[in-house]
Amino acid sequence: MKNLPETVIDELLGRPREQIDEIFEHEQVLWRGPANHLRGVEVRGGWLRVTKTRLSFRAHAINFQRQPVDVARTAIRSIEPSRIFGIIKCLKVTHADGTPQKFVVWDREGLLEVLRD
């Protein structure tokens, strides 16, 4: 069993738990973690969650732009590793209409695996 400091650090870094039991807006969460989302020139921080039906980003209150991002999993054309400004590793999710969304996450490979299933 983990001690309290390890548990707090895991939560802050968004490390995956053995079993995720979170319910988010009436849906079971398959993956969650802290993330940054590129919107215009702002890289805004928040939490990214994946459910059976969608990819959902909620920005922290300290961001200028606080609009949520919800992408239906059926509307995702492609998911691929990418970079922001050519330096920062991220995940690029492209909508069926061609619109890309870029997310910086701690566990990029784990998120890729969950989204591709």
Task: Show me where the domains of the chain are located.
Answer: 4-116
Q: What is the pLDDT of residue 103?
A: 92
Q: Hunting for tokens 């998120």 — which residue is that?
A: 111
pTM: 0.75
For residue 58, which of 73, 48, 44, 43 has the smallest C-alpha distance? 48
In the predicted structure, residue 59 carries a pLDDT above the cut 70: yes
Residue 59, SS3?
A: strand
CATH topology of domain 4-116: PH-domain like (2.30.29)
pLDDT band, residue 17 (cuts 50/70/90): low
Residue 70, token pair as written in the block:
């919800």
